[in-house]
């Protein structure tokens, strides 16, 4: 197990450790808010702990607690939490290229979330990305349940709504991905996703507005489909062109072969008894 969590300065720069430390502080702050909300909503400490450990997704847990606190059925709360956590599919696609294809991926997949995916983007190669992901994932796996328990025990001492601790999450995430926004395609998709989420948030239940931003991938899928269709059609025209070029080259080769035969003095279809032009060229008289 030591190789699973081994991160050294030779792999990760100091800036990655600083980013992990800053994000961890915000995670603790939001975890305190989450724990306080569960206490006010009537959740027992062990329920708060188990939800923090096994769900390990802040938005999904806030949604679950919000549905229960509003008097909703537990099954609806579970479905709402699963829908919110469906965003992890996109995160899985993002981290998949540098994930090892062995048993470690089964354990680390539980740590796929907003923060670990964003921190992994700071790596300069696949190995660095993998270690950065593990470092952030381990910090979340420890600090999120721990902070939630402290918030649960403090109970009504912390006014989560007044402090607005959960607002730190999107601010930190934006700072982590700002480098990726230099790409015009990424920036365009991000802006479209933001507009969709902001427009639908007032119309949808708590936590589901942000999930609607994933619909931006419909445009990505459409673009891939069009490009794949064009690629499938392109080889047909290219093959026809290559065949035509090959035929022209074959004809040119035949002409060149005839020219070479003439240069070599090889007789072809000359009349019997006629002087060969090559004989005159060589200064030989008629035989």
**Average confidence (pLDDT) per 10 residues, the chain, 287 residues:** 49 86 88 85 90 86 80 79 82 92 90 91 90 94 93 75 60 66 80 83 70 71 79 62 50 50 46 47 44
Give the pLDDT confidence score for residue 7 in this predicted structure: 45
| Alpha-carbon distances of 219 from 93, 222, 223, rounded to whole Å | 16, 5, 6
Cα–Cα nearest to 115, from 144, 143, 136: 136
Give the pLDDT confidence score for residue 135 in this predicted structure: 94
Residues 23 and 176 sit within 8 Å (Cβ to Cβ): yes
Give the pLDDT confidence score for residue 272 in this predicted structure: 47
Beta strands per DSSP E along the chain = none
Q: What's the pTM?
A: 0.58
Residues 130 and 3 sit within 8 Å (Cβ to Cβ): no
The rounded distance, in Å, linking the Cα atoms of 16 and 99 is: 18
Q: Which tokens hold the place of 169?
A: 């999450």
Give the pLDDT confidence score for residue 200 in this predicted structure: 81
Give the pLDDT confidence score for residue 99 in this predicted structure: 93
* Residue 42 Ramachandran class (φ > 0 left, ψ -120 to 50 alpha, else beta): left
Sequence-distant (6+) residues with CB within 8 A of 120 are 94, 95, 98, 129, 130, 132, 133, 136
């Amino acid at each position: 197990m030591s190789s699973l969590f081994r991160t050294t300065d030779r792999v990760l720069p100091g800036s990655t450790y600083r980013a992990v430390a800053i994000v961890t502080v915000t995670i603790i702050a939001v975890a305190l808010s989450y724990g306080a909300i569960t206490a006010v909503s009537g959740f027992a400490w062990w329920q708060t702990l188990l939800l923090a450990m096994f769900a390990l997704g802040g938005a999904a847990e806030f949604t679950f607690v919000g549905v229960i606190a509003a008097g909703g059925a537990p099954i609806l709360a579970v479905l709402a939490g699963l829908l919110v956590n469906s965003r992890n599919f996109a995160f899985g696609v993002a981290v998949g290229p540098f994930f090892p294809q062995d048993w470690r991926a089964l354990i680390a997949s539980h740590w796929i979330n907003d923060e670990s995916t964003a921190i992994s983007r700071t790596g300069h190669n696949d190995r660095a990305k993998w270690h950065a992901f593990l470092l952030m994932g381990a910090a979340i796996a420890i600090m999120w349940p721990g902070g939630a328990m402290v918030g649960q025990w403090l109970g009504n001492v912390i006014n989560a709504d007044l402090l607005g601790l959960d607002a730190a999450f999107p601010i930190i995430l934006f700072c982590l991905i700002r480098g990726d926004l230099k790409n015009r395609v990424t920036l365009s998709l991000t802006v479209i996703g933001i507009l969709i989420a902001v427009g639908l948030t007032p119309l949808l239940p708590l936590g589901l507005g942000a999930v609607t931003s994933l619909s931006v991938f419909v445009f990505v899928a459409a673009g891939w489909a069009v490009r794949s269709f064009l690629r499938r059609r392109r080889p047909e025209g290219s093959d026809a062109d290559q065949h035509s070029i090959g035929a022209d080259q074959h004809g040119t080769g035949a002409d060149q072969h005839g020219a070479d035969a003439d240069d070599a003095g090889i007789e072809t279809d000359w009349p019997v008894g006629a002087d060969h032009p090559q004989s005159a060229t060589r200064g030989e008289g008629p035989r």
